[in-house]
Amino acid sequence: MKNGYKNLSKDEIYLISRAEYEKQKLITTEFAQKLFPDKNKASRVLVFLTQKGRLIRIEKGKYILVPIKAPNQQWMPNEFIVASLWMGETPYYIGYFTMYNYWGFTDQIPRTIFILNTDKSSKKDISGIRYEAVKIKKEKYYGVQKIKVEDQEVFISDKERTLVDFVSNPLGSIRNFEVALQDNIKNIDIEKFIKYLVRFPVVSVRKRAGFLLEEAGCSKESLESLRKAIGTKRVLTPLDAYKKSRKGKINKEWKIIVNR
């Protein structure tokens, strides 16, 4: 018997063989029950394969198949594929810190895979990697790009949408976004970025981004639509929401307290 099949029962080998033949990365309870109409047998096979390291449990009823040729101790599933399989049919994109690093906006290595989606908020560890599902409103679901990882389709935030998330959630200080913007201003589609900002349903984010874009050298003409999108209310927004102090010079055009 080949090493890959060592300590596996005939039923366990059958499930793995069928899954690999059908190119099924995600193994569900329903899949097992089609192979084994006896529900108790289907459950036992899934449990035993998980215990033997041949399935990785994502959540109840969802498992990732460990390739039979891969030694248990040396195989790790791709994090983006895990995120995609976890979300299933739910609209999602991999974003936040994960994408800040992916697009080169920060050199910091993310310890968590962030998955923004329209269904649930949840945190879990899968094969030693931390995953965090962040529920967002449907109106925030745009600027999504489809890529292929191995042979799996995965959804991520595109470069400009990632920057919108960055100004909204700048990792502890607005300075982090400011540096990323200055370093990448020539490598992004400014027009698209501004359109995304106008669409983003949080006025304070538009204000901060508009102020910093103007500082970075964008013309008043190019920023006109964003300027209109902040409205006419005189509410002042601190540039850095993470700082307790609201002291600073007032920028009347963008209604910003420059509390650097």
Q: Which long-range contacts (CB under 8 A, 24 or more apart) does 58-64 make?
A: 58/26, 58/82, 58/85, 58/86, 58/126, 59/86, 59/124, 61/28, 61/29, 61/30, 62/26, 62/27, 62/28, 62/86, 62/88, 63/26, 63/27, 63/28, 64/25, 64/26, 64/27
pLDDT for res 67: 85
pLDDT for res 72: 56
pLDDT for res 245: 87
Q: Are 155 and 135 in contact (CB under 8 A)?
A: no
Read off the pLDDT of residues 81-104 as tens digits, 9 standing for 90 and up: 999 999 999 999 999 999 999 999
Go through the domains of the chain in sequence order and give each one's CATH number: 3-74 (1.10.10.10), 79-157 (no CATH), 173-258 (no CATH)
pLDDT value at 7 more than 50: yes
Chain mean pLDDT for the chain: 94
pLDDT for res 5: 67
Rounded average pLDDT over 45-66: 94
Read off the pLDDT of residues 121-173 as tens digits, 9 standing for 90 and up: 999 999 999 999 999 999 999 999 999 999 899 999 999 999 999 999 998 89
pLDDT value at 1 more than 60: no
pLDDT for res 4: 57
Read off the pLDDT of residues 173-208 as tens digits, 9 standing for 90 and up: 999 999 999 999 999 999 999 999 999 999 999 999
pLDDT value at 21 more than 90: yes
Rounded average pLDDT over 201-228: 96
On whether the pTM is more than 0.95, the answer is no
Comparing 92 with 53, the larger pLDDT belongs to 92
The pLDDT-based confidence of 3 (bands split at 50, 70, 90) is: very low
pLDDT for res 70: 76
Read off the pLDDT of residues 244-254 as tens digits, 9 standing for 90 and up: 888 999 999 99
